[in-house]
Amino acid sequence: MIIDGKKEAEVLREEIKKEIISIKKKTNRVPGLAVILIGDHIPSQIYVKNKEKCSKEVGINSNVIKYSHDVSEEEVLKKIKELNNDNSVSGILVQLPLPDQIRQESIINSIDPSKDVDGFSPINVGNLASGYNGIVPCTPKGCLMLIKKIEKNLSGKHAVILGRSNLNGKPIAQLLLKENCTITIAHSKTENLKEKCLKADILVAAVGVANLVKKDWVKDGSIIIDVGINKQGDKIVGDVSFEEVKDKVKAITPVPGGVGPMTIACLLKNTLECFKDRLT
Ligand code: GUN
pLDDT tens sequence across 103-160: 999 999 999 999 999 999 999 999 999 999 999 999 999 999 999 999 999 999 999 9
The structure's pTM equals 0.97
**Taking a C-beta distance cutoff of 8 angstroms, is the pair 5, 257 a contact?**
yes
Mutate to test the pocket of ligand 1, among 93, 95, 116, 170 (most ligand atoms within 8 A of CB): 95
DSSP codes of every residue in 3-39: --HHHHHHHHHHHHHHHHHHHHHHHS---EEEEEEES
| CB of 185 closer than 8 Å to CB of 161 | yes
DSSP letter, residue 215: G
Burial class of residue 256 (count of CB atoms within 10 Å of its CB; 0-12, 13-18, 19+): middle
Write out pLDDT tens, residues 222-250. Answer: 999 999 999 999 999 999 999 999 999 99
In contact, 114 and 278? CB cutoff 8 Å: yes
Mean pLDDT of the chain: 97
Q: Which of 51, 141, 219, 269 is catalytic?
A: 51
For ligand 1, the distance from its centroid to the CA atom of residue 28, given in whole angstroms, is 30
